[in-house]
Structures are given as C-alpha cells and as structure tokens.
A and B are shown apart, each in its own frame.
Chain A
Amino acid sequence: MTGWLGPQEWQAVALSLKVSFWATLLALPLGVLAAYALSRWTFPGRNLLNGLVHLPLILPPVVTGYLLLITFGPQAPAGQFLEWIGLPVAFRWTGAALAAAVMAFPLMVRAIRLSLDAVDPKLEEAASTLGASPIRVFITITLPLIAPGIVAGGILAFAKAMGEFGATITFVSNIPGETRTLPTAVYTFLQVPGGEGSAVRLVIISIIIAMAALLLSEWVSRRLADRVRGA
C-alpha cells in the first residue's frame, strides 16, 4: 500500500485513522452519558443540553473550529490547563482529535439515544425489584440492550471524524505530519500543480474507508440486535 501511496499521502491516511480512533474513543463515554441524560432524566436545562449537543451539526464547521480555538487555544484557560496536564491541543494532532470528536458527537448521541428510547424502562424496573442497584441495572440491562446503538453510533462517529475538515483546519491548521488529515491533504494537493494524482488516490481511500465503516456498522449492529431482540 505504501508503494502505491506516496509518503505524504500515507502519512495523512495514518494520521486520520489515529485522529478518528481517539476522537471516537473520547466521544463514546460522553455520548452514552449525554444520550442517557436526554432520554431518561428530566432536569432543568435539558433543552439547553440538547441544543448544545446538536450545535456542531448545524453550525458552520468554521464557526465550531473558531469556538474551539478561543476555548482551547494557547491563551485560553482551558487550553492552558490541558497543556499543564501534559496534553496540549493547539496545533497538535490531539486538537484534531478533539475537533473531530466535537463534530461527530451529535451523530453519535442521536444513534445511542434512538436505541435508548427503544429500551423498555419496565425491564430496568424489573431488574431493580430483583435487587440490582441503579448502576448494576445500567451495566447489566441497559448497556447490553443499547449495544447495537453504541456500535452504530461509534462507527458513524468514526466515519464523520475521518471526513472532518472545516473545524479541524480552523482549530489546528494544516501542518504536515501533525494536523494534515486525509481531507485537509486532499485539499492541499488540489492547491498545488500536479497534485491531482495524490488527491484522487486519497479520495479513493476515503470512499473505501467510509463504505467499509458503513457496512461494518450495519453488520455488527444487525448481529447485536438479533442477540437482544425483544421477547
């Protein structure tokens, strides 16, 4: 594969996979939590949370990227805190992962929330009458029953992260080997004379990865759904 791809192209693909992997991993627990809160709890500010979660979906990605920059930039307190704990994000691949996670978050929450809404709360009630504490109920009943939704949401988020462009380039720029992910690399190659060949190869890889992710998610969630299919 490295023979067919130039070193710069390969670098972009590998970086994108790394960024998307960590973005998905970061978003998953928070996504489950947000979906659970939105699906099961009534609390003041629920609508606000719902709006915040969905904001990256409807805002122009450039705006999201700019908001990330002023929140996590080197001058911002949150950015300085992350730098202090040894996890700087400004103009680093970690920042690209953060941007991708934020952009993928709404898709993930929606998928998980759909599956949560489909879980009958009466089953959770039954588990508590059998002596299971709320946290045990969540781990032994809710989580297995929403597994298809989590898998689907995770893969959807991964695919979205692979394609994230606007917020990433605004937040962490386009630094080769650090923040030049697959889409930014395609963009860059199209800007230089003679770069079309590289761009086309990356586009083909993009399509393959996206299709593979989609098929995988369909397959896994179908298998899981069959396992937990209603009584």
Chain B
Amino acid sequence: MLTVSITHQLGDFSLDAAFEAPAGISVLFGRSGSGKTSIINSISGIIHPDRARITLGDRVLIDTSRAINIPIHRRRIGYIFQEGRLFPHMDVAQNLAYGARHARGAAVVPEARIVEMLGLGAMLKRRPRDLSGGEKQRVAIGRALLAAPDLLLADEPLAALDGPRKAEILPYFERLRDELAVPVLYVSHAVGEVARLATSVIAIEDGSVVRQGPAEEVLADASVTPTGIRAAGAVLRARVVAHHADGLTELVAGGIPLHLPRIEQALGTELRVRISAQDIILSRQQPEGLSALNILPGQVRNVRAGQGPGAMVTLDTAAGPLLVRITQRSAASLNIAEGVSCFAIVKSVSIAPEDIG
C-alpha cells in the first residue's frame, strides 16, 4: 500500500494531494498540467516537495516533518518514463542487467520470466537506437522490473507512441497487472487507457485529488470528468459468449447481451467495455422498431446539470452504472429525474475498438 500526502508550490501552481494506492494498477488520471507528474516525481524522489509524507508498505520514503528523505536510489521504486530513457551505450541485455545489478531487494520476478513476458528474447543484442518506440518501452518496463522495485511508476508510458504502438504495449501492462504482484502507479490523461488498465482511479484536477476509488465507480461518477465532459464514459465488465456468422460478437454484461463488431477474443474472455456518455440515447419506453442493437434498461441514480445546455445522467443497469449525456431540455421534457426507469440505447458501432480490452 502506498500512502501519499504532498503539498508543493511550483510558481503559480500549487499541489496539494493526498491518496492511497492499493495493489494492482492505480491510475493518476487528469489533464496535462494537473500535477500528475509532479506527484510521481515526488514519490520517486526526483523532486523534493515542500511538505510531504509518503510511505510504501512499512517504509517511510519521505517525511518532511521528521526530516526523513530517502535518496532516489534507495527508494526501490521503478520508473517507466514517457521516453524510455534507455542507456544508448548499452545493448538491450546490458540495459536489463543494469536494473538487476543495482537491485536493492530480492528479485520479485525471475529475469527469464520478464524476458518472456515482454517478448524481449529476440532483441537482447540490439542497441536502443535500432529499436522501435514500442520495443524501447518494453525494454524500459523490463529494466524497471529487474531492479526488484516495491512499486512501479509509469508516466504516460504510451504518450510518445502512435496508435498501433500503443495497442502493442497495453497488453504488457495488463499482464503486469494480472500476473505480477508489483503495484503500479500509472499516470494518464487518456480515458481509454484508464478504462482498460485501472484497478483503481485517482482523479486529479488542478493539483488536488477530486475522487479516488475502484475504476468502475470513479469513471461512472458524473461529477468527475478530469479530462473534460466529452471524454466521460462508464466502463462495463463483460464476457464474450458468441461470435455470430453476421460478423457480430455477443458479450454479456450483468446478464444483459451486448452486440459489437467482431472482436478477436476467445469465448469466455472477460474484458472491459467503455461506453462513451455521448454515444447513448435515453428512452422512457421500451423502444421498438429501432436499428440499435444494444438496449439496457435501468433506473436513474441522479441527473446533474452542466454549465452549458447539457446534463449528465447516471443510470444504474444490471450491467453496471452508465453515464449518459443529454440536454437539459430533454431531461425536462421526458421528466428524467432520480428513481425514474429508462432505457439506454447504445448503437453497437459506438463501442470503439480501442476501448475494449
């Protein structure tokens, strides 16, 4: 368990954040400039905050009130940087060995396992300059893991990569989350990444934590949209149950069937589906004669009016809470209010493939 409490003044910007990160991948979620990187740099020891108390397990990393400040190299915190930061004068094997050589704890994961998990076997003799961006990031992940860290920090590790490369790296972080015991604090402003990776979410706005909790809860909270209302959307857990001959894949989420264009996942695979708030239409009656395939009945938990003409509705369904963005006019004319029954209509094509995982 990582416990963080930081106050720091950087010019006009003030950081005042406190949170806890449990096991799994905790995502620090917020827009650029919200203070996410300052937070993880404080945790790693790269910057020295004005006032802070940070503990990892039973180790105090920094406590300014007791003048404790463990230097970076003794914190046992791995750091995956945005740009990889591989050592240019070493090949891949030497970069990996550098992590292992200076490890200050017993290896959590054997080297062979890491090389296998990240698919590094074929590139051990190559130089960083001969690697693609995605390959560099995989080596950086392996190098950080081999230093036997108690915690792994990742600062937007996909931000410098293009779409296909992002898709190449994401599964490695999923394996990290699902197969290894190392907790990860992952910085991101991309809601798709958050939806796919996060066990828990710490939402950051203007240097403070506005909400923290399990990913499904935080992403379904209409009051928390750290990267803007357009990016809002809930995450559902679903299971693949059938691949139909007409090119559709059928998922089941909380007993409700969902249809989306064929995804290449085996039957029975558990995955997360993100449904953007603006891709849902609400209806008071059971809709008939509609082309949309996915219709989820539910009950309105709350309606929040935005600053403009919009409103955000949280709808509890058997599949989980959904966020729906409608206009305040529609909310008024349909009498959409707390406790009212509604149907959420989701066009199957509106479930973007990059949000599935």
Contacts and interface: CB of A to CB of B under 8 A. Distances in A.
A136 B102 contact: yes
A123 B46 CA distance: 12
A132 B81 contact: no
Contact of B73 (A133, A140, A141): A133
A126 interface: yes
Nearest to B153: A129
Contacts of B104: 131
Interface in A188-231: 227-231
A129 B79 contact: yes
Contacts of B74: 131
Contacts of A136: 73, 102
Given A125-B46, A131-B102, A231 B136 contact: yes
Given A133-B73, A229-B129, A127 B87 contact: yes
Contacts of B144: 129-130
Nearest to A228: B89
A47 interface: no
Contact of A227 (B73, B89, B143): B89
A204 B128 CA distance: 46
A122 B85 contact: yes
A144 interface: yes
A129 B72 contact: yes
Contact of A130 (B84, B127, B131, B143): B143
Nearest to A133: B73
A122 B129 contact: no
Which of B81, B102, B129 has the most A CB atoms < 10 Å from its CB? B102
B173 interface: no
Contacts of A8: none
A134 interface: yes
Contacts of B136: 231
A105 B108 CA distance: 49
A12 interface: no
A75 interface: no
Given A125-B72, A141-B87, A230-B88, 20 more contacts: A126-B87, A127-B98, A128-B71, A128-B72, A128-B73, A129-B44, A129-B46, A129-B78, A130-B78, A130-B143, A131-B74, A131-B99, A131-B102, A131-B103, A133-B73, A134-B73, A145-B89, A229-B129, A231-B88, A231-B131
